[in-house]
Structure 1
Amino acid sequence: MEKSSIIEPGPGVAAGLRDLFKYLNLKTASAGLVAAIFGCSGPALIVMGGANKAGLSNGQTVAWLFAIYFLGGLISIFLALRYKQPVTGAYSIPGAALVAGSLATFSFDQAVGAFIMAGVIVFLLGISGLIGRVMRWLPMPIVMAMIAGALIRFATGAVSALGTAPVIAGATIVAFFFSMRFVKAIPPVLAAFVVGLIVAFATGSVGGGSAEISFVMPEFTTPSFTIDAFLAISVPLALLVIGAENAQATGVLMAEGYRPPINMMTIISGIGGIAAGFLGGHNANIAGPMTAICSSEQAGEDKEGRYAATVVNGILFGAFGLVAGAAVPVVMSLPRALIGTVAGLAMIGVLLAAFQNAFGKSLGNQTGAFVALAVAMSNISLFGISAPFWALVAGVFASFLVDAERSTPEVAKVSDTV
C-alpha cells in the first residue's frame, strides 16, 4: 500500500464474489451462523430493554433494530468481499447500553441526532487517517493483551454456564472437544451447537424467551441536534466505536495474521453510524466479538477463505434486520447458556493467539501488556467509555514509564503487520 493512500486497496468485490463459492463450506457457514446467533440474541435484549424504558413505540423499536442489523449485515458483506478478510459488521453492544441509559435524560429525537453526530465524528477520524496511524503506532503486545482481556469473558462465560445450565453447557462443551479430536469432517463449533440445541429441546429449555414487540412497520424519528446530547451521547459513542469495537476487531485480525484495512473500517463505521442514525439506530460498525468468531480456526484452516463466514453472517444479520419484529421472539427462545457456551468455545483459537502475541518471551512491552490485560478484564467504564479503550491507554502509559524495550522493535512490527 502506498504511504499516501488513506483508503486501503483490496482485491475488490468482484474478486471476492468470484472466489466466494470456493470457500463456502460447512466450516465457514457454521462459523457465520454461530456469529449471527450470538449477535441476534443477547445484544438485542439491550436495545429492546432501553427502548422499553424510554417508552418508545413498537415501530420505533423495530426501526432501531432494522437500522443496526440490516446495515451491520451490509458492512459485513461489503468489507468481506472487498478485502477477502473476515471483517464483520454489527453494532456497538456497550454503545447500546450507553444509549439505553441516556434515554432517561434525553428525548429519542435528541438521541437520534446524537447518533448521527457520532457517525460524523467516526467518519472524519477515519478519512483523516488518524486512527490508522495510531493503531500502527501501538505496540503489538499491548493490543494483543487488550484483545485477550476483552474477549476472555466469553471463555469464562462458557464455564459459568455450567453453573446455570450444567446439562446444556456440559453437553455442548463435550461435543466441541469430542468433535475436535475424533470427527474431523464436522466443524467443532457446529457439532457443539447442534448437540446443545438437541439437549435444550430434550430438557424443555427452548421457548423461555419472550419479546414485547410484534411484526410491525418501522417508525422513523426526525432527529434533533443539541449540544448536550452531543457531549453526553455522541462523543462517548464515537470513542466506543473506535476504541472498543474497531480496536478489538483490528487486534483480532492481526492475531490471526491478517492485514486489516484500519482506515476503511473506521470510515465505514462512520458511514454506518450516520445512516443508522437517520433510520433511528445508534450505530452500525465493525464488531469485535463477531469478527473473532468468523476469523477463528472454527471458520476453517484456510485463512484466505474465512471471509466467507463473514458473508454468511452478513446475510443472516441483514435478514434478521428486515424481519426484526417477527425474528426476535424466535431467537430469544434459545437458552442463553447455549449461546454463551458456543460463543466462548468459538473464541478459543483467537484467545490463544492473543495471549501468545502478548506475552511471548521474545517480545517487549510486557508490563504494559499486563496492565492492558488487567484493565480490559476489569470491564471498567469511565466517562461512558468502556474498558478496551482504557486498556490501550493504560498499557501504553505503563509501558512508556517502565518497559525498557517499549519502542522501536514493537512499533515497527505492528507497522509491518497492518
Structure 2
Amino acid sequence: MDSQTVGTAKNSTHNDPVAPGWLSGLKALPSALNLNSFSAGLVAAIFGCSGPALIVIGAAQAGQLTNGQTVAWLLAIYLLGGIISLFMGIRYRMPITGAYSIPGAAIMVAAFASFSYQEAVGAFIMAGVLVLILGITGVIGKIMRWVPMPIVMAMIAGAMIRFGIAAVEAVRAAPLIAGLAVIAFFITGRLTRKVPPVLAALVVGLIATFVTGGLQEGASTLAFVMPEFTAPVFTVGAFFGIAVPLAALVIGAENAQAIGVLMAEGYKPPINAMTIVSGVGGILAGMMGGHNANIAGPMTAICSSEQAGEDKDKRYGATVVNGILFGAFGLVAGLAVPVVMALPKALIGVVAGLAMIGVLLSALQGAFGPKLGNQVGSFVAFVVGMSSLNLLSISAPFWALVFGVLASLLADKVMSEKPAKAEPLAKVSG
C-alpha cells in the first residue's frame, strides 16, 4: 500500500473527504493557473507579507533576538506556510492556504517578558505536538461537524467583516489611492469578465501610489543575513504560558476560520488533515525557530473567494500561487520585508477588503438565510466574532463558536445536529 493510499485510508477513518491525489492535482494545475488565480494569490501574499511580517519582527525585537534569529523565524513560517499551501492545494484541489498564526506572533511580545527565546522555541514545538495529537485523534473534525452551519457562517462573517471595515477606513485615510482602487474594482467587474476586478484594483492602486509618491520608507532595517537557528529548551512554564495558548489560537482562530470559509464556498474541507498538517507545520517551524506554520484563515478566504475564478474547482490555483510567493518571501525575508513595507497600508487594506466581498456575502446568507434555524445562536456568534474578545489567551473566533452554540441551545427552538447544506452558497459565490 503506497503513501497516498495510506493517507486516503486515514482520511476515510476520520470522515475527511478522499483526496483526489497528487497526480490529479498536478494534471489539472495548468488550467487552474490563470489571471484570476494569479491575482487572488498575489493579493493574499501581499496581505500576508506586509503587516503580519511587522508583527513578527516586533515580537523578535521584544525578545531581543539577533538579526540572524529574526530571519530564521521569518524563514520558518513563510517557507513552511508556502509548502503547506502547495501540499494541501495540489493534493485536495481546494484553496486550503497555509501561512502562520498572526495573533500567535502578537502574544509573543508579552511572552518574551517571562521566557527566553530558547524556552519559546521549545514551546513552539510543544504547541505543534498538541495540534498534531488533536488532528490524529479526529477530535477537531467531530466538533466542527457537530456545530450547526449557520453558527459557523456567522463566526466567519463576524471575523472577516473587519476586512470590509478596514477597506472603508482605507478610503478615508488615502482617498485618492484607495478610492481609485475601489472604482477600478467595480468598473472592471461591470465591464468585463476577462480581467479579475481585484487585480485591476491592485494595479490602479499601485499606479496611483507611484504617481502620488505614496511609497513609504522601508519599515525594517534588516539586512540580508544567514538564518541563525536556536536549540530548544523545554520547560513546564513555557508549555502553559506559550504552547497551550498558541495551540488554541491555531485551532480556534486560524483553522476554524479556514474551515468555515471553505464551507461557505461550498467545499467539503478535510478538517482532520488540516489540523494534522498544522501540527506538523508547528513542529517543523519550531525546530527552525518560528512560532507556527499552519492553515491560515484570511489567506484561505482570499484564495477561495470568487475573485480566484468562477470555477471553484480551479481556485486552488490561487493557493499554489500564494504558496510559491510565500516560500520565496521566506527565502529572501531580510531583503523582501522593507520592499513590501514600502506599500501604503491603505492600499493593502482596501484590496484585501475588496477580495473578501464574495466570502462575506456567502457567510452572511449562510448565517441568516430566511429558511435557516439557529438565528439567535448565529447572531451571538456574529457579534462575538466581530469583537476583540480574548479569554484565556484565545481570540474571538473560537469563542464565537462556543457562545453561539450555547446561545442556540438556550434560545433557539431547535438546534440541528447536522449543519445546513452549503450547496446554495456555492451558487452565490460563483
- Structure 2 Cα separation of the partners of residues 109 and 8 of structure 1: 39
Matched, 1:58 2:59: no
TM-score (normalizing by structure 2): 0.94
Match for 1:148 among 151, 157, 175? 157
Displacement of 1:104 in angstroms is 1.6
Q: Is the 2:217–2:342 Cα contact (8 Å) retained in structure 1?
A: yes
Displacement of 1:73 in angstroms is 0.1
Q: Which AA in structure 1 matches 2:194?
A: A
Q: What is residue 138 of structure 2 aligned with on the other side?
A: 129
Q: What is residue 261 of structure 2 aligned with on the other side?
A: 252
Q: What is residue 287 of structure 1 aligned with on the other side?
A: 296
Distance 1:3 1:326, change over 3 A: closer
Distance 1:252 1:7, change over 3 A: closer
Q: What is residue 336 of structure 2 aligned with on the other side?
A: 327
**Alignment identity in percent?**
66
Residues 245-254 or 157-166, more deviating = 157-166
Displacement of 1:412 in angstroms is 6.8
- Structure 2 Cα separation of the partners of residues 413 and 127 of structure 1: 26
- Structure 2 Cα separation of the partners of residues 206 and 234 of structure 1: 38
Distance 1:300 1:315, change over 3 A: same
Matched, 1:402 2:411: yes
Secondary structure, in 3 states, of the residue corresponding to 2:13? Answer: coil
Q: Is the 2:20–2:91 Cα contact (8 Å) retained in structure 1?
A: yes
Q: What is residue 38 of structure 1 aligned with on the other side?
A: 47
Match for 2:275 among 261, 266, 269? 266
Q: Which AA in structure 1 matches 2:236?
A: I
Q: What is residue 383 of structure 1 aligned with on the other side?
A: 392
Secondary structure, in 3 states, of the residue corresponding to 1:181? Answer: helix
> Could you give the per-residue CA deviations for residues 172-207 of structure 1, whole angstroms, max 9, x where no partner exists?
111100111113221000000000000011111113
Match for 2:324 among 300, 312, 315? 315
Q: Which AA in structure 2 matches 1:187?
A: P
Displacement of 1:13 in angstroms is 1.2
Q: What is residue 229 of structure 1 aligned with on the other side?
A: 238
> Could you give the per-residue CA deviations for residues 189-233 of structure 1, whole angstroms, max 9, x where no partner exists?
000000000001111111333212110000011100111111011
- Structure 2 Cα separation of the partners of residues 204 and 411 of structure 1: 50
Q: What is residue 356 of structure 2 aligned with on the other side?
A: 347
Q: What is residue 168 of structure 2 aligned with on the other side?
A: 159
Q: Is the 1:8–1:263 Cα contact (8 Å) retained in structure 2?
A: no
Q: What is residue 120 of structure 2 aligned with on the other side?
A: 111
> Could you give the per-residue CA deviations for residues 228-256 of structure 1, whole angstroms, max 9, x where no partner exists?
11101111100100010000000000000
Distance 1:109 1:323, change over 3 A: same
- Structure 2 Cα separation of the partners of residues 328 and 339 of structure 1: 14
Q: What is residue 240 of structure 1 aligned with on the other side?
A: 249
Q: Is the 1:90–1:285 Cα contact (8 Å) retained in structure 2?
A: yes
Match for 1:209 among 181, 205, 218? 218
Residues 276-285 or 17-26, more deviating = 17-26
Matched, 1:93 2:111: no
- Structure 1 Cα separation of the partners of residues 137 and 17 of structure 2: 13
- Structure 2 Cα separation of the partners of residues 364 and 405 of structure 1: 7
Match for 1:15 among 24, 29, 53? 24
Q: Is the 1:106–1:229 Cα contact (8 Å) retained in structure 2?
A: yes
Matched, 1:73 2:78: no
- Unmatched 5+ stretches in structure 2: 1-7, 426-430
> Could you give the per-residue CA deviations for residues 297-347 of structure 1, whole angstroms, max 9, x where no partner exists?
000000000000100000000000011001111111111100010000000
Q: Which AA in structure 1 matches 2:210?
A: F
- Structure 2 Cα separation of the partners of residues 407 and 5 of structure 1: 21
- Structure 1 Cα separation of the partners of residues 153 and 98 of structure 2: 21
- Structure 2 Cα separation of the partners of residues 93 and 301 of structure 1: 29
- Structure 1 Cα separation of the partners of residues 384 and 405 of structure 2: 12
Q: Is the 2:99–2:294 Cα contact (8 Å) retained in structure 1?
A: yes
Runs of 4+ in 1 over 2 A off after TM superposition: 1-9, 207-210, 410-414
- Structure 1 Cα separation of the partners of residues 280 and 321 of structure 2: 22
Secondary structure, in 3 states, of the residue corresponding to 2:228? Answer: coil
- Unmatched 5+ stretches in structure 1: none
- Structure 2 Cα separation of the partners of residues 200 and 3 of structure 1: 50
Q: Is the 1:255–1:357 Cα contact (8 Å) retained in structure 2?
A: yes
- Structure 2 Cα separation of the partners of residues 59 and 49 of structure 1: 15
> Could you give the per-residue CA deviations for residues 99-132 of structure 1, whole angstroms, max 9, x where no partner exists?
2221121100000000000000000000001100
Q: Is the 1:138–1:396 Cα contact (8 Å) retained in structure 2?
A: yes
- Structure 2 Cα separation of the partners of residues 74 and 23 of structure 1: 18
- Structure 2 Cα separation of the partners of residues 82 and 180 of structure 1: 31
Coordinate RMSD, CA, aligned: 1.4
Distance 1:412 1:27, change over 3 A: closer
The count of aligned residue pairs is 414
- Structure 2 Cα separation of the partners of residues 320 and 171 of structure 1: 28
Q: What is residue 369 of structure 1 aligned with on the other side?
A: 378
Displacement of 1:154 in angstroms is 0.4
- Structure 2 Cα separation of the partners of residues 372 and 61 of structure 1: 37
Match for 1:177 among 169, 186, 202? 186
Match for 1:190 among 199, 209, 224? 199
Displacement of 1:134 in angstroms is 0.5
